[in-house]
Amino acid sequence: MLNFNYHSLKLLQPLGEVKYKFNDDLSAFIFPVIFRNKHSLVYRSTSTTVDKIRWLESIHNYRRQLRGHLRYLGDNMITIDNEKMKLQSNLGLLFTVSDYNQLCTARDCRNVLPIDRTFTSQGPLFAVDSESLYGIIRTSYAEGDDLSTILREKLSLKDIAVVTLQMADTLDDLAAKDIVHRDIKPGNIMYDFKTKKATLIDFGLAYSPAEQESPFLSPDLQNLLNEREDIEMGRILGTPAYLSPEHVRGNTSPQSDLFSFGLTLYDFIVGHNLSFKFDHQDTYALFWYLINYETPEKKKLMDEVNRAVDSSSFRRHFLPCLESILDPEPQKRERDSLRTCAERFLHGKERSWTEIMGSWLNKFFSFN
């Protein structure tokens, strides 16, 4: 478990003219920790900002006081103030740099947690304590809770439709920038019941071919992103219960995020995710299921959703949408179906006969 002394954590690079009340260290941690796991911690750094700290490497063998900018030299090598060190793995460094880069790229996308404007010119920040090296990303604070912590009984069908409508905007904006989030799930969507605001968070796994020419990174960190394919080789990144079939096979696109959001909707409606079908911990069985996911598997999911919903209006509007975005073939997932189903459920609009017949004909010809 990540464990460090808040008062001993020091930023490597100075913040220039930026006036934090704790200057160039992070010794003023007065807000609560929001989340922590083995390698990262998220806490309220101020009343309006959140800092995500990721453990990168043990540095207890380096006696001198480290100070200055971190630079990536390639082949797992970095330098800090001319002190060279070899990382055991550069995966954590890659995730920190990618998180920063994608948040900068997505800064004008709807319903995405905005990166703090201080960081847009500084690059990701790095810090040390007496034992370890850390990467830091600062974003605005999103009110509410992540949807994995909200009980199914509390998330009404109307709330599900509101989240769907807002995430449709987000996924459209990300697709327009060719960004694949790669970890769409309830735990990465914040929702504020008071304002009915949904926000997509955590871009650590996000990927875009366009990042090969990022205007937000120094040349050395750009080189790190260019090595992404080699660094990630042989790894299936993301949360197994929300991966698309093509993601498990090693290919992703914005259409993959649609499928992941479809499984997120399934989770909201049915009350559990796919892992429950495989004794919770049997990841290999879940991967095998997704690799072999075809139309019969989709039909079983649709039957479960149908049984779980009492509202005929919700079934009428959302089942066609789910059937589309949970299609085994990425090109058959209709992006517009998310917005259409949510708007019609919220505003009580019905599908025209032309649309109903078109949907029926698509199913008929797909089946044949």
- Distance from chain centroid for Cα 269: 21
Instruction: Look up residue 42 and give its amino acid.
Output: V
3-state secondary structure (DSSP) of residue 35: strand
* C-beta separation of 322 from 267 below 8 A: no
Question: Long-range contacts made by residues 33-40, C-beta under 8 angstroms, separation at least 24?
Answer: 36/1, 36/2, 37/1, 37/2, 38/1, 38/2, 39/2, 39/92, 40/2
Residue type, position 256, single letter: S
Mapping DSSP to helix (H, G, I), strand (E, B) and coil, where does residue 303 land?
Answer: helix
Name which of 161, 201, 162 is nearest 181 in CA terms: 201
Helix (H) / strand (E) element for 145: namely strand 145-146
Structure tokens at 142: 């999103």
**Per-residue tens of pLDDT for the chain, all 368 residues:** 455 554 566 777 654 433 333 334 444 444 567 777 777 888 887 778 888 889 898 887 665 667 778 899 998 999 987 888 889 989 999 999 999 999 999 999 999 989 987 666 667 888 887 788 888 888 999 889 899 888 666 789 999 999 999 999 999 999 999 999 999 999 999 999 999 999 999 998 998 877 667 888 889 999 998 898 888 877 888 999 999 999 999 889 999 999 999 999 999 999 888 888 776 567 888 899 999 999 899 999 999 999 999 899 999 999 999 999 999 999 999 999 999 999 999 987 655 545 555 555 565 555 45
CB 100 within 8 A of CB 224: no
Q: Residue 260: what are its φ and ψ, rounded to 5°? A: -60, -40
Beta bridge partners of 136: 53, 125
Residue 22 φ then ψ, to 5°? -105, 20
The whole model's pTM is what? 0.86
